[in-house]
């Protein structure tokens, strides 16, 4: 029997509460000091907590596989990312609050700068135009009409927008138009299967009209479309785990991910401080809390070791606030590693701190990658976290007689 | 290739002997002393043995999943419990020595007390009537005849009995009749699929006649049926491993489990002392010995930390006797954890001591959950134990050229 079916069969209700604190890109690599970002950070609260917890290391997807944000979070949520795939377009759309129909195709759009003479891309992000400018351009593009489909277009953040086409017989078996490098022209959308020919035609028709509208803009005089896909129709948290769940996150992408599995997405402001206030406010209303900290990842992506240390320390400072609420299970980990040394997501295992009443404690004294090697959890996989959380929250009954 | 197919393909004969010592519910949690039951127990023999062994922790089914006795043992025996499911009725029937035909349906019966006026259950176990009383009632129920099926009914222990219906076209897709709480009436058997309608009818007919016979009894004036199922037809130990195997156990459930995989079930008395005598007596006749100690689990279920410690110590005392016989492989573990602190089965990993000539020894000095975190086996799964046992007993040939 597969894990999700098992959860569906075995879950029972209890009044226990689970907090899943995800520091995006938490895992790191040592700098010249020999310590990772987490190890270099002063984290007295997490260190104290790990001494009464079980700790370990977790592989987000599979050994050697670097997760995007989507698969990384699916793993944290207990859905095998190799089984369930989500297009980036879907994430962007859900992240800004669009709800997709089963018939809809969602694309992530990037405004870009094209060379006026040759048409090749000179800046894939159009100088990272501000969100206001993006909204202005999207407003112009919203005038586009295509026979046979309904169109929704919305600004996301900076140079990014979400485009949704809805109509009969659409298929997401389509290529992307971003050539992934400057000096090349945007590509046309191509159907990967005959059933997607009609969808490709619609998107190419939309692109032609969009380029016409944008041609005299600067610097965003073009755009590309990526991750065109349908909502994968994941079974919900209520269905799988029987959990009344919510998401506390500041960025559209993670809100979208949470919405995809049926979590209530709360308005949690823009900072860790507003997030923790939100958690306090809605504590009585839910059993599962996905608490997302974004800026660990941003700092890692920027190669800024010290900034990542600082975000970890800022997160450590809210641990007492969380503990005061009395969570029955608190898991602290990340969706994937983003070592400042690599300036990118990576495949490295994530440190995991797993606090609950009935954990079998280990001898780990500080929360960090090296110390977690000796942890009692050993080396687990992200998809193991939710079954363990459910078990420790008395929310799973026995399997078999 | 699946594990069992691999074993079937690769097994070869050797004169080496394997002992699988299963302390039921062995895994524990610390009490106020900070030590688990196994850690608190004085186990000089296991401690000595673990220093020349490889040790580790094993997950019985999957992370977070609490096994019933059936799945727990299937894992120990090397059958993936998520692939092979066994009804409780089958276990009870096999446990008292009934052999099921492929056409038979077996149910576990519980005598219960019904309120004479309203018919609701007031005691789901009829005051835990003694086995003698159970046998007396079963004798009365054995007069029931139903057109179309042969019926076997036998007392098991206390308030429990086994009921087997045999006939053409029976199906186990049936509901249970125990409402799982007092204050509710026993439920009728319902067919979950149309093919099981006939079977439901037979069981309901039997129940009607049984209630008529029991109505003036006290306290057992009713009964419920649970886990109605057919023998799952597991491939045997002889077939999979080529092993001449036997089971030394004191409780029906575990004898039944062993019989299910084709082990010879020996008459091993009621105590660890009679079990070890049995082992000595039949040592020359078998290659694989499943040695089951029940009372670790019973003590854990009772929440009696000290009693569990004592059973572990009693088991430790027989280790020299086992070693004197010269086993080539000795595995000491449990089917699942039953921490006294939880008074129930749990999902926690089991400590494993794996003794054999060609083990790659580790640095573990005492046999206990915390020490085993650092063991050379790492974190394995119960289904990994049998292939490792076979390998260390020179009973597996090379895979591939």
Q: Are A288 and A246 in contact, with CB atoms under 8 Å apart? A: yes
Residues of chain B with a CB closer than 8 angstroms to some CB in chain A: 29-30, 36, 57, 61-71, 81-83, 85-88, 91, 108, 227, 339, 341-342, 345-349, 369-370, 373-374, 378-379
Cβ separation B379–A379 shorter than 8 A? yes
**Least confident range of A29-43, A324-338, B91-105:** B91-105
Q: Are B161 and B153 in contact, with CB atoms under 8 Å apart? A: yes
Cβ separation A387–B85 shorter than 8 A? no
**By C-alpha distance, which of A254, A384, A335 is closest to A72?**
A335
Chain A residue with CA closest to B350: the answer is A360
Nearest CA to CA, how far is B236 from chain A (Å)? Answer: 21
Give me A173's structure tokens: 């078996």
Helices (H), A142-262: 197-214, 237-241, 252-260
pLDDT average, residue stretch A345-368: 97
Give me A282's structure tokens: 């809605």
Nearest CA to CA, how far is A211 from chain B (Å)? Answer: 52
Q: Is the pLDDT of residue A401 over 80?
A: no
Cβ separation B347–A3 shorter than 8 A? no
Q: Are B276 and B317 in contact, with CB atoms under 8 Å apart? A: no
Phi, psi (deg, nearest 5) at residue A166 = -125, 130
**By C-alpha distance, which of B228, B227, B215, B225 is closest to B113?**
B215
Strand ranges inside B34-94, DSSP E: 54-59
Cβ separation B36–A360 shorter than 8 A? yes
Cβ separation B370–A362 shorter than 8 A? yes
pLDDT in tens, A200-244: 999 999 999 999 999 999 999 999 999 999 999 899 999 999 999
Mark the ranges of chain B whose per-residue pLDDT is less than 70. none
- B379 vs A360, A378, A401: nearest CB: A378
Position A64 confidence tier, pLDDT thresholds 50, 70, 90: very high
Contacts of A362 in chain B (CB under 8 A): 370, 373
Question: Could you tell me which residues come within 8 angstroms of residue B34 by beta carbon, excluding any fewer than 6 positions away?
Answer: none
Q: Are B11 and B2 in contact, with CB atoms under 8 Å apart? A: no
pLDDT in tens, A72-120: 999 999 999 999 989 889 988 977 878 788 899 999 999 999 999 999 9
Three-state DSSP class for residue A89: helix
Domain boundaries of chain A, sorted by first residue? 3-85+234-392, 91-229
ipTM of the complex: 0.87
Q: Are B44 and B319 in contact, with CB atoms under 8 Å apart? A: no
pLDDT score at B394: 98
Contacts of A389 in chain B (CB under 8 A): 64
| CATH class held by domain A91-229 | alpha beta
Quick one: B304 exposed, middle or buried, by C-beta within 10 A (0-12, 13-18, 19+)?
middle
Three-state DSSP class for residue B397: coil
pLDDT in tens, B169-205: 999 999 999 998 999 999 999 999 999 999 999 999 9
pLDDT score at B10: 97
- A387 vs B65, B69, B85: nearest CB: B65
Cβ separation A378–B373 shorter than 8 A? yes
Cβ separation A380–B82 shorter than 8 A? no
| Cα B124 to Cα B181: distance, rounded to the nearest angstrom | 7
User: Cα-atom radius of gyration of chain A, to the nearest Å?
Assistant: 22
Q: Is the pLDDT of residue A1 over 80?
A: no
User: Is the Cα dihedral B95, B101, B107, B111 positive or negative?
Assistant: negative
Contacts of B369 in chain A (CB under 8 A): 360
| Cα B53 to Cα B66: distance, rounded to the nearest angstrom | 27
User: Which letter does DSSP use for residue B127 in this model?
Assistant: G
Contacts of A379 in chain B (CB under 8 A): 378-379
Residues of chain A with a CB closer than 8 angstroms to some CB in chain B: 1, 3, 6, 10, 358, 360-363, 374-376, 378-380, 384, 386-392, 396-401
- B81 vs A360, A379, A400: nearest CB: A400
pLDDT score at A106: 97
Nearest CA to CA, how far is A90 from chain B (Å)? Answer: 31
pLDDT average, residue stretch A10-38: 97
Distances (CA, A) of B358 to B5, B7, B54, B138, B205: 25, 19, 10, 52, 59
Domain B3-85+234-392: give its CATH architecture.
3-Layer(aba) Sandwich (3.40)
> Measured over all CA atoms, what is the biggest interatomic distance in chain A, rounded to whole angstroms?
74
Q: Is the pLDDT of residue A349 over 80?
A: yes
Contacts of A400 in chain B (CB under 8 A): 67-68, 70-71, 81, 85-86
Cβ separation B88–A361 shorter than 8 A? no
Q: Are A368 and A33 in contact, with CB atoms under 8 Å apart? A: no
pLDDT average, residue stretch A149-153: 97
- B373 vs A10, A362, A399: nearest CB: A362
- B64 vs A363, A374, A390: nearest CB: A390
pLDDT score at B87: 86
pLDDT average, residue stretch A350-354: 98
Three-state DSSP class for residue A104: strand
Asked, colleague to colleague, whether A3-85+234-392 and A91-229 share their fold, the answer is no
Nearest CA to CA, how far is A258 from chain B (Å)? Answer: 23
Chain A residue with CA closest to B92: the answer is A401
- pTM for this model (two decimals): 0.89
Nearest CA to CA, how far is B36 from chain A (Å)? Answer: 9
Strands of the sheet with A329-333, listed across from one edge = A264-265, A245-248, A288-293, A18-23, A329-333, A350-356, A54-59, A378-381
Cβ separation A401–B70 shorter than 8 A? yes
Three-state DSSP class for residue A397: coil
pLDDT average, residue stretch A320-342: 98
pLDDT in tens, A247-266: 999 988 899 899 899 999 99
Chain A residue with CA closest to B108: the answer is A401
- B63 vs A358, A374, A380: nearest CB: A380
């Amino acid at each position: 029997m597969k894990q999700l079916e098992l959860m569906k069969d075995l879950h029972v209700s209890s009044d226990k509460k689970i907090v899943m604190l995800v520091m995006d890109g938490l895992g790191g690599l040592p700098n010249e000091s020999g310590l990772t970002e987490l190890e270099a950070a002063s984290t007295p609260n997490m260190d104290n907590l790990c001494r009464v917890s079980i700790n370990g290391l977790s592989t987000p997807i599979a050994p050697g596989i670097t997760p995007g944000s989507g698969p990384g979070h699916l793993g944290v949520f207990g859905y095998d990312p190799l089984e369930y795939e989500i297009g980036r377009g879907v994430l962007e759309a859900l992240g800004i609050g669009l709800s997709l129909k089963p018939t809809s195709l969602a694309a992530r759009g990037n405004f870009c700068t094209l060379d006026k003479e040759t048409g090749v891309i000179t800046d894939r992000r159009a100088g990272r135009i501000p969100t206001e400018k993006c909204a202005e351009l999207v407003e112009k593009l919203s005038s586009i009409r295509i026979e046979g489909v309904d169109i929704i277009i919305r600004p996301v953040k900076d140079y990014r927008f979400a485009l949704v086409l809805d109509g009969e017989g659409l298929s997401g078996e389509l290529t992307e138009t971003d050539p992934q490098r400057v000096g090349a022209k945007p590509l046309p959308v191509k159907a990967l299967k005959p059933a997607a020919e009609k969808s490709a035609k619609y998107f190419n028709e939309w692109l032609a009209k969009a380029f016409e509208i944008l041609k005299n803009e600067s610097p965003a005089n073009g755009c590309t479309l990526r991750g065109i896909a349908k909502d994968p129709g994941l079974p919900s948290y209520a269905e799988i785990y029987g959990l009344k769940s919510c998401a506390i996150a500041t960025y559209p992408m993670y809100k979208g991910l949470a919405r995809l599995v049926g979590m209530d997405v709360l308005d949690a402001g823009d900072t860790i401080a507003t997030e923790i206030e939100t958690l306090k406010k809605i504590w009585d209303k839910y059993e599962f809390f996905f608490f997302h900290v974004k800026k660990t990842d941003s700092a890692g992506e920027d190669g800024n070791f010290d900034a990542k240390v600082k975000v970890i320390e800022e997160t450590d400072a809210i641990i007492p606030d969380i503990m005061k609420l009395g969570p029955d299970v608190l898991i602290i980990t990340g969706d994937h590693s983003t070592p400042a040394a690599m300036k990118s997501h990576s495949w490295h295992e994530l440190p995991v701190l797993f606090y609950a009443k009935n954990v079998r404690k280990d001898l780990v004294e500080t929360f960090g990658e090296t110390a977690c090697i000796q942890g009692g959890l050993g080396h687990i996989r992200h998809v193991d976290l939710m079954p363990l959380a459910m078990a420790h929250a008395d929310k799973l009954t026995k399997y078999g007689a």
